[in-house]
Structure 1
Amino acid sequence: MPVRVAESSAPSQVSGTNSGHTSSPAYTLLSVGQAFSGTQNVSSLQKEEAWRVNVRIQGCDLEHGYLCGTMEALNVPMADTPIVVTFWEGEIVDTKNYTFYTGKWEASPEDDKRHWTKFPSFTPLLSQVENDGGKSLDLSNYPYIFMRWKEQYFVNVGTDCGLTIAGFYYVCFSCSDGSINGFYYDPNSRYLYFFLVFYIFVN
């Protein structure tokens, strides 16, 4: 989400409940029109905050590893409006169009590995990613889909709303239950080790 708490210095935690959509094919759950909702938490030394998050997929081009959508943050404590909507574009790590190494947005290979390894599902892939960025991996039948989501602009508010979209999300989608969790990376907060995480389920 478009939120960066400058004083954050610790990873936040995730929470959520399964809504029961466990039998749908993975890419059906990532198709246009699918909606997800859940909770986004921020932890810092000073305070902990949480708010509801709604995500809707607006476009998906699997052949080119692309998807996009909107993200709504509800009742964010520092926002001036009850709902903040952003438009985001995503990269699917398919080792054909995109690898685990971001190569932009001021994310180094070390930043990539530090964030991807926060997902237990990434651990079996680590050694191969360290060898060649994961280019030789076949992820077509892997039970998780890894993505990067980059918010491009605010939809319903101006840039002076008090929030930022300077960073991007490392995202992991579970093919078994349709849940998504992610960690936010903001290059402006790299020395604070700031991470933001959300956990959302298909509606």
Structure 2
Amino acid sequence: MPVRVVDSCTPSQASGLNNGSTSPQACTLLSPGQTFSGTQNVSNLQKDEAWRVNVRIQGCDLDHGYLCGTMEALNVPMADTPVITFWEGEIVDTKNHTFYTGKWGATVDDDIKHWTKFPSFAPLMAQVEVDGGKTLDLSSYPFIFMRWKEQYFVNVGTDCGLTIAGFYYACFSCSDGSINGFYYDPNSSPFQKLELKSTNEGRLGYSFSSYELQ
């Protein structure tokens, strides 16, 4: 949810060709109720700024390449209260979704520029350039690639000074539950980085009881 303005290791081996089972591996750290905390860097040429961010997974359906959740920005300068948005995500599983976005104003070139920001994407690059990664088997890959699209503001109006016109390219580590992402919106600062770490709170199964998501 950026203001509108005018991965530590790489797998040693890429997954093989599609063997008919392409859904990413099940992971307890990517499940409903799990929470993540970190920052989003919204720096540009005029300022250097990072917001504290909390994310909660509300739903996850690996078979259909779908997940959803809420994102809370805590120290947004122009907002009196934390700003919460509801987002829906696409899991890149080569069955329901490929590495090519095909919407939200993103071109193939935009996709490649953003995915290559993740070191874990490097072993997949050659095949993605051929067919978008359709023939890759990601079922045992230790990283899950996703796109998150914010759908609406939960607790503030659209006049809050933020935009949700773009979307996030995101990469989830199955080993430690960390999430790195980059926001894409032609009208916002490029490559705004999202860095999140898994917290223990989500394992208790809590949710945002103060808000009704429709």
Q: Distance in 1 between matches of 2:106 and 2:94?
A: 18
Kindly provide the amino acid, as one letter, of the partner of residue 122 in structure 2.
Answer: T
Assess if the C-alpha contact under 8 Å between 1:170 and 1:182 holds in 2: yes
Highest Rg: 1 or 2? 2
User: 2:45 — aligned with what?
Assistant: 45
User: 2:126 — aligned with what?
Assistant: 127
User: 2:162 — aligned with what?
Assistant: 163
Q: Distance in 2 between matches of 1:82 and 1:157?
A: 9
Where does structure 2 lack aligned partners over 5 or more consecutive residues? 8-24, 200-214
The TM-score normalised by the length of structure 2 is 0.82
Deviation at 1:45, TM superposition (A): 1.3
The TM-score normalised by the length of structure 1 is 0.86
Q: Distance in 1 between matches of 2:174 and 2:28?
A: 10
Are residue 114 (structure 1) and residue 110 (structure 2) matched? no
Deviation at 1:47, TM superposition (A): 1.1
Q: Distance in 2 between matches of 1:164 and 1:81?
A: 16
User: 2:34 — aligned with what?
Assistant: 34
SS at match of 1:29: coil
Assess if the C-alpha contact under 8 Å between 1:68 and 1:87 holds in 2: yes
Are residue 201 (structure 1) and residue 200 (structure 2) matched? no
User: 1:84 — aligned with what?
Assistant: 83
Deviation at 1:26, TM superposition (A): 5.8
Deviation string for 1:143-181 (max 9, x for gaps)? 110000000000000000110000000000011111001
Deviation at 1:186, TM superposition (A): 0.3
Deviation at 1:82, TM superposition (A): 2.6
User: 1:173 — aligned with what?
Assistant: 172
SS at match of 1:188: coil
SS at match of 1:28: coil
User: 2:207 — aligned with what?
Assistant: none
User: 2:210 — aligned with what?
Assistant: none
Deviation at 1:194, TM superposition (A): 1.4
Are residue 186 (structure 1) and residue 185 (structure 2) matched? yes
Kindly provide the amino acid, as one letter, of the partner of residue 42 in structure 2.
Answer: V
Where does structure 1 lack aligned partners over 5 or more consecutive residues? 8-13, 15-24
Deviation string for 1:83-136 (max 9, x for gaps)? 000000000000000000000001000000000000011011011000010000
Q: Percent identity?
A: 75
User: 1:69 — aligned with what?
Assistant: 69
User: 1:17 — aligned with what?
Assistant: none
Q: Distance in 1 between matches of 2:3 and 2:184?
A: 9
Structure with more of its chain in strand, by fraction = 1
Deviation string for 1:25-47 (max 9, x for gaps)? 86211110001001111221111
Kindly provide the amino acid, as one letter, of the partner of residue 57 in structure 2.
Answer: I
Q: Distance in 2 between matches of 1:5 and 1:163?
A: 6
How many residues are matched? 182
User: 2:15 — aligned with what?
Assistant: none
Kindly provide the amino acid, as one letter, of the partner of residue 129 in structure 1.
Answer: V
Q: Distance in 2 between matches of 1:199 and 1:27?
A: 19
Q: CA RMSD in A?
A: 1.5
Q: Distance in 1 between matches of 2:76 and 2:187?
A: 21
User: 1:59 — aligned with what?
Assistant: 59
Kindly provide the amino acid, as one letter, of the partner of residue 120 in structure 2.
Answer: S
Deviation string for 1:16-65 (max 9, x for gaps)? xxxxxxxxx86211110001001111221111001210000001111100
